[in-house]
Structure 1
Amino acid sequence: MRKLFYIFLLIFSLVSASRNAMAQDFKKVRQQTFTDVQPADTVYIKKLINAGMKLRWIKPDSSMALLQKAETLSTQIHYINGIAKSLMNMGITAMSQDNYKQSYIYYQQAYPYCKISTNKSYLTTLFINIGTTYYYQGLYDKAAAVEYFTLQYLKQRNIIDANYAILYANIAAVMLTSDQYQKALDYTREGEAVARKYKLYNPLTYILNNKGTAYQKLNQPQLAYQNFSEALEISRQHKFKEEEQAQLNSLGDLMLDANQPEKALSYFEQSLRVSDSTNPLFGSIQPNYHIGLVQLKLKNYQKAEEALRKAESRLRQSGIHDNEADIYEAIADLYEQTGRYKEALEKYHVYTKLKDSLLSKDKMKAIAQIEMKYNSAQKDKSLAEKQLLINTQQNELQQKNIWIAIAAGSIALLFLFIIGIYRNYRNKQKIQSDRIHILQQQREILQLKSIMHGEEQERTRLARELHDGIGGMLAAIRMHLSMTQKRAADGKNVDAEPILHMIDDTITEVRKTAHNLMPDILLRHGLIQSLRIYCANISSGTGLHVDLQVHNEISAFDTSVELHIYRIVQELIQNIIKHAQATDVTIQIRQLEDALVIMVEDNGTGFDTDEAAGGIGMKNLQSRVQTLQGIFSVESEKDHGTTTYIEFNLHELLKTATV
């Protein structure tokens, strides 16, 4: 467990730096998203990742190129899930090429993204990948430590998913490797219960395969056959190609143990026909190796040589070392039985070299164990000598009690000093917290002032419209009515048509004023459709062409939020009509994973942003954006048009009930 602690300590030490770099990347992306960079579609990124995963075993270089492209595009649009999944699969691809060092580098880079990903299974998937890489390296103790840690992590959080079942399968695999077959059975039974209960069919095939292997090692072939057969049926039903090959190879190996070479040959040949794009260990190396053994046993030397050479060739292409010594031993046996003694000797040399390498590793392990025992004995001897020395010096220690008391007093003073420092630190923290609270209050006060200022301006405008528009119309109607009454009293003809027209105009003006308070179209059609209608009316009624572009599906917000956004766009267009002398306006509205972005571009005369910063119109826009806790920026040059960028936090908009 201590080793595992150091492993994760190394990963955690880089999290802070990774997040800082990631934050800088996000800032750059936000500035470039709608200018010089076209955001990649997340669906396209997922297709790149899936394509890279399929090519992992047959074309690892192409696989890595696709995954790197997916990671680059995901970074450009700060698509966290895409970055995490790309880096994790790059680590697996590096592992498939025996490049374990680079594999761990990719896992380390993926960790901070997996930790903040919206997909909560990514973090445990990363841990499982790390454990799998240790397993492929033959570091079974580290693999088991990671798997146990991850399983405990899921249990503490009561998370039952596919990863939970996979962990039981992986731990069982480690037990099988260390010849602990009964323990392997125990873990497969626990994992099988979970996989069946939650219908996790893919992990279930791994678990049943490991369970069958354990029964095979315990000389229970009938139970082994039942588990392999069920796993094969599930794999075929759900089209798990790699798993299907693994079950066929296991069944073939079981038939070989039962001395039924014809049945074994049938299973291995079926495995070859399943697919040529899966893990070459299951899809080519193991079946061809076993076919070669069967044909050699049946004295079909030509077919045996053909199969063994295929296994050898695929072994070299993939860089996989499993069964390497066995394959060269089988080829040497073939050459010896066919009288090709010189070639047989060459292959035996290769086989012997590989075996010597394995034996040297075993010797190194044995030496390390002896050294540990020796060191342990030396430590015991040293402890005995120290105990003897303590007994002989006991009187001297009593004389040093005074010094011990002085030391204890010093420690007490040091402790008090540390407490003083700690209290001082806490006081500073409290002062800093109070300052932050005061600043937050001041900011809220400024926002309230801005809202009050905007409301006061709205009341002033409404009063002006009522006085100058509706009030004037009503006064005119009253005057016409008085004149009509006088003409009727004098017996003259009375024409009421002008009065009716004036009443209609007054009704229209009242409707316009009510529409400005809360547009009826916004209540009937919602934000996006209302903006489309508004932009269409502007385009048809003025010389200004307005192009509204909406990317992705926009969420529905509270009515007050939608009114603010509608007014912001409305005011931007009115400012362009009044001041910009533009002919074209492009409005882009895009909903990202955690943000709503609005960008308005025109081809007008532009202006000096420093001079316009203090204008009333600009302050009103800033006030509306700040009310929704958004970000507002303007870029403009004279004769080069204007670009306005507004960004809102999506979660804040969705939880806002009133403004």
Structure 2
Amino acid sequence: MTSFLPRLCCRMPNFISMVLFLLAFSGTSPNALAQDVVEGLKLQLNEAVNDSEKVMILSDLCWEYCFTDPDSALQYAEQMYHLADATHNDYLLAVACNDLGRSFQRFTQYDTALVLYEQAGTLWKEQQDTARYLSIRFKMAIVHNERGYFDEAIKEYQSCLQGFEQLGDTLSIIAALNNLADASLQLGMLSQSRDYARRSLSLCTIPDYDYHKMVALSAVSSYYEEVGKIDSSNTLLAEVIALQRELGMEVEEAISWNNLGYNLNRVAQYEQAFQAFAKCLELSKGVQNTHQIANAHANLGSTLIYLHKPDEALPHFREALAIAKDQDLRVLKKQCYKGLFDVYMMSPRVANSDSAQYYINQHLAIQDTLLNEEMIKEVAQAREKFEADRKEQENRILAAENDLQKTRIESEEQQRIIQWWTFGGVLLLLGALLAVFLIRKRVADRLKEAAWESQRFRAVLRAEEEERSRISRELHDGLGQLLSTARLHIGALKKAVPDEKQTSIHQATGLIDESVQEVRNISHNLMPATLQGKGLSRAVRNMAHRISDSGTIEVTVSDQLESVERSEWDELMLYRVIQEIVNNSIRHSGCTKLDISMKATGSGQRIVVKDNGKGIDPAQMEDSTGMGWSSIRNRIALLGGTLQVERGEGSTFVITIPVRP
């Protein structure tokens, strides 16, 4: 029956990735809320007579509530910020920004937290308070770490580490090294993670540093686990557990027992793994951590399957599944459904193929859902990054064109100065000639530099289009193939699934088909294949067909461009101009019909795009600083053409492009 054994049981996050060090202004550790302390602070707040005193009392209240009642902490922090701002005291305002940023970070409102931390850091830097400035930068690194931006976190941690070393702050150095070890581990930089953790351990030489020693040991243990040295990892985990027990960290100790069980299962020491998971369950129940309780039950069930004890595994999977359903823990539900499938296939007492089929179907359904969500997320992230990079490049090109225009105006002004001095008379001839020589040289240098800049901007545009083409190919050939393969696998399940379950199969197939179509649309928008293979006319027609097929807007195309010969680069530039104008009309004009006319003239090409929307004011368009119109104007200018906008019953855009010599 070994073919029905489950995958390795679910491993909880390593302790080091759960605990990140917040260097607060106070050296107090975040203990449980002491009610007598809070009541005393509230009494002091009521008796305070000035705003400065109130700000500092509110700061203490924020700290006391931060780890136990985040809502109250946020309320006090907001009150504190407004009072500090009214005092016009930079010190108090920096303290308020720190506390308010910490509260927003607790609610995962990271952008707001970063803005407040940045403001606090600027104030501390202006006051030349290096220690507090580094503390703020360290918190910003923690925010990057929590968001999953590990590259940015590592850069910030390294900068803080250098500052802490200059200050000789051993405790902060240890914290920075531990967090660098964690971030490096998240990026798969295993040797770097190990080295940072070992440096931290070398500094943890006194009992006061046991907490940080425990975190560093956990990081090294994770390194050994990743490289397959399970025995070494388990030895260090035993030390971690001992330190956590001494420090009274029951939640974290439960996690470490879970991770120890995970490692023991990897080396087939199932009896010892069962004992480790049982200890995790005992501790988790003691602290009433339902998520950890569910994980422990599921892992106990999986381990019992390894031990060929499916009847004993059944209640554990049911307990875990009940919690997973209540808290909508989809990954845990997937593990439980797989475990229950194994139980009903292995156990002679409860063997039931129908129940087994039900549970494996539930397992596969969640697995497919998670896979689809991950794929969609990756596509969205890739698209967002590409759009941001594209707009940034277009802004740079626009700025460069403005600089070029400014240089031309300056050149014309210098030429007028030259003419004035030329007519100055014979007595000033030598001086005038010298001035002419110097000025013309400067003008020539600027024009040469401007021409070079123009060539560079063309190269940037070309690189941008090449990158679009590359991303288009990768989306089509990579992600598209993966989605198609996933559809084939789901299709293969149809015969094995009862008729009443076919709806789930059809829904999954439909989701994949929608994903495939979305990938194709993104790929085509990035780089239409017809443009490279069959020219501008065919590419524009294909674009029109796609829009018309949506059923909301009718797009017609008429062209007489067969006799016009242009380079692939020029055709691509023209296609981007037409594409941007059409997109603007669809988004902003409210039109229902678009006409695109492309015609060859004696001197070049004339392209007319007309819609029946509400029309656009040409003057407003000229003044627009939006990236879309800037991109259109810049591309037409690079082709040496002109754009004319007419407003009547809708808008008419007339593009005239001359023939290049």
When normalised by structure 1's length, the TM-score is 0.43
When normalised by structure 2's length, the TM-score is 0.42
In terms of Rg, which structure is larger?
1
Higher relative contact order (CA 8 A, sep 6+): 2
